[in-house]
Amino acid sequence: MKSEAKRFFAEAAWVQGAWAKDVLLTVAGDGAWHSVEPGATAQQQEGATRLSGPVLPGLVNAHSHAFQRAMAGLTERRSAGAHASDDFWSWRDRMYTAANRITPGQLEAIASQLYAELLAGGYTQVCDFHYLHNDISGAPYANPIEMSLALVRAAQRTGIGLTLLPTLYMRSGFKATGLREDQRRFSSTPDSVMRMVEDIQRQTKGDPRINTGVAVHSLRAANPVALHELTGAAKVAGLPVHIHIAEQTQEVEDCIAHTGQRPIEWLLNNADVDAHWNLVHATHATPAELRGVRDKGASIVICPATEANLGDGVFDLPAYAAAGGKWSIGSDSHVTRSWPEELRLLEYSQRLTLRQRNIAARILGQESSAAGLFEAALAGGFPATGQLQGGLAAGHRADFMTVDMAAPALLGVPHSHVLDALVFSSPAATFGDVFVAGERVAVSTPQRAEAFSRAMQALWKT
C-alpha cells in the first residue's frame, strides 16, 4: 500500500560519490527516491523535514548468519589439550553447539537484537544466509519455514530490509554421502529450498522490505547435480544466488583432491555463473580466478572482521580491483556489526600485507580510501539482494542515515573529510536517525535488549 510522498532537506548528502550541499530529498509513496536535488533554494526547502546531520545512503550487509550473533565474544579462549589447535574448523565445532540449541523464539530474539544493531551500524538491508531449517532433533518443523519466519518477524519488528536466503546443505564433505549428526538441522534439498522460497514469498507478500534468494552452502556441502538443479531454478525465478567459496586453504586442498580443480576454478568451469551470483569470501583465489569472476559478471562478498576472527586470510583486493570486479561487504558471524569497522579492517589488512598506505584510494581510482571503499560496497548491494539499492538516486529504495557530527571522532572534522573520519577515526562515530524505504526506524528498545538477554541466558545458562 502506497503512502504519501515525503520531503527531506540535508545541508550535505553523499550523492554520486561525493558530498553535495543543500540537498532536497523526495521519497515517493512506494518508499523509493522520487528525486534527489542538490543546491536546493530556500523556497524549495520550505515544508521539508530538516535532517539533523550529513546524509549517507544505507549499505547492504550482504552476508549474515543471524544465530551466530549469540556467539560473539564466546569463542575467544584457546582449545584445551596440549596438542589442540585453534582454527576455522575448531571454531566450526563450537558454532555447531550453538546451532543445535537455538529455538525459533530464541532465534527471533537474537535476530531482533542483531538487526537493530546492524541498523545502528549503518546497514539498511541484510542478506541472511539461513541454514537452520529443522528442529533440534533434525526433523522438519510442522511448518517447514518456522525458523525462516523467526527471521522475517525480527526484520519486520526492527524495520530493516531482509533478503532471506534458504540454503542448500546436503553432505558434510566432498566424499561424504550425507550429513554429520551435528549438522542434522541443516538438511535440505533443491526441492525443499525452492518450496521454502515460495512459502516465504507468500507469507511476506505485500511487504516490499522482504525478498528472497537462494544459497548453496559450499561445494563441499552439495553435489554438482543438486547445485545445478537449485541454481537453475533460481535463474528461472530471477533470484540472487550466494555460495561460500575458497574461504579456507583446507577447503581449496580438498576440492583439488576431489575434483582436480580449485573451488572457484571448478565453479566457473562447471556452473552457470552470471550476474546473479555472489561468491562469499573467495579469500584464497588466484588472479586468473578473480578475472574469471569479473568476466562472468558475478560479485564477491568480503567479510573482513569474520575472516580475521576465524584466521581465514586476506582477500586480494588489489588483484580484484585491477580486474574491475564487483563486491559487497558482510558481517557474517557478527563479531562486529558496523560497516565503518568492516571497511577499516579491509583497508588495514591490505596495508599490513603490502606495507603501504591508502591502498583502496590507489586501486579504486579515488582520492579518498574511505570513498573508494564505500562506493564499491554501495554498488554491490544490487547483485546481493536483487533489489535496486545503491545510493541516493531516483528509483532506488530510500534508505539513508544521518551522521552525528557531535560524535568525538568527528569533532572539528571538515565536512569534506567526514566519510574519511567515519571509517578511519576510532572509536567509531555514530549515526543519528536511520530510515528504511523513507520511514524512520527505532534502533534500540529496552524490550528488545531484555528478550535478547533472556535468550542468551537460556542458551548459555548464565
Say how many CA atoms lie within 13 Å of 204 toward its Cβ: 26
Task: In whole angstroms, give the CA distance from residue 362 to residue 369.
Answer: 8
Task: In whole angstroms, give the CA distance from residue 364 to residue 438.
Answer: 30
pLDDT digits (tens, 9 = 90+) for 410-427: 999 999 999 999 999 987
Question: Bridge partners of 123?
Answer: 59
**Once rounded to an integer, what is the mean pLDDT over residues 365-384?**
96
What pLDDT does residue 4 have?
A: 80
Binned at pLDDT 50, 70 and 90, residue 2 comes out as: low
How far, in Å, are 27, 82, 211, 241, 358 from residue 310 at the CA level? 41, 21, 30, 24, 25
Query: Radius of gyration over alpha carbons of the chain, in Å?
Result: 22
Task: In whole angstroms, give the CA distance from residue 132 to residue 103.
Answer: 10
Residues contacting 50, CB < 8 A, separation 6+: 8, 9
**Once rounded to an integer, what is the mean pLDDT over residues 234-262?**
98
Closest to 197 in 3D by CA, of 243, 142, 152? 152
Residues contacting 88, CB < 8 A, separation 6+: 247, 248, 250, 310, 311, 312
Task: In whole angstroms, give the CA distance from residue 407 to residue 418.
Answer: 11
81 has pLDDT over 80: no
Please tell me what DSSP assigns to residue 139: P
CATH topology of domain 60-385: TIM Barrel (3.20.20)
Evaluate the CA torsion angle 14, 18, 19, 22 in order and state its sign: negative
Amino acid at 161: G
Amino acid at 178: G
**DSSP reduced 3-state for 303:** coil
Q: Nine-digit cell at 445?
A: 528498545
17 has pLDDT over 90: yes
Averaged pLDDT score across all residues of the chain: 95
Residue with cell 546481493: 384
pLDDT digits (tens, 9 = 90+) for 87-133: 898 999 889 999 999 999 999 999 999 999 999 999 999 999 999 99
Cβ(129)–Cβ(63) under 8 Å?
yes
Say how many CA atoms lie within 13 Å of 288 toward its Cβ: 6
Residue with cell 532536497: 24
Residue with cell 579462549: 77
Extents of the domains making up the chain: 6-57+393-446, 60-385
Closest to 64 in 3D by CA, of 165, 134, 145? 165
What pLDDT does residue 83 have?
A: 62
What pLDDT does residue 1 have?
A: 47
**Once rounded to an integer, what is the mean pLDDT over residues 204-226?**
97
Residues annotated as catalytic (active site), given as ranges: 281, 332
**Once rounded to an integer, what is the mean pLDDT over residues 357-373?**
96
What pLDDT does residue 85 have?
A: 79
Nearest 5°: phi and psi at 267? Answer: -60, -45
- If one compares 84 and 56, the residue with the highest pLDDT of the two is 56
Task: In whole angstroms, give the CA distance from residue 358 to residue 366.
Answer: 10
What pLDDT does residue 356 have?
A: 97
DSSP E strand boundaries for 131-201: 161-168
For residue 389, how far is the Cα from the chain centroid?
13
For 351, other C-beta atoms within 10 Å of its C-beta total 14
Question: Bridge partners of 41?
Answer: none
What pLDDT does residue 444 have?
A: 78
Cβ(107)–Cβ(132) under 8 Å?
yes
pTM for the complete prediction? 0.97
Q: What is the secondary structure of 378-427 as a DSSP string?
A: HHTHHHHHSS--SSSSTTSB--EEEE-TTSGGGTT--GGGHHHHHHHSSS
Which CATH superfamily includes the segment(s) 6-57+393-446?
Answer: Urease, subunit C, domain 1 (2.30.40.10)
**Once rounded to an integer, what is the mean pLDDT over residues 63-88?**
88
Cβ(225)–Cβ(64) under 8 Å?
no
164 has pLDDT over 80: yes
The length of the chain, given as a count of residues: 462
Task: In whole angstroms, give the CA distance from residue 418 to residue 411.
Answer: 10
**Once rounded to an integer, what is the mean pLDDT over residues 161-182?**
97
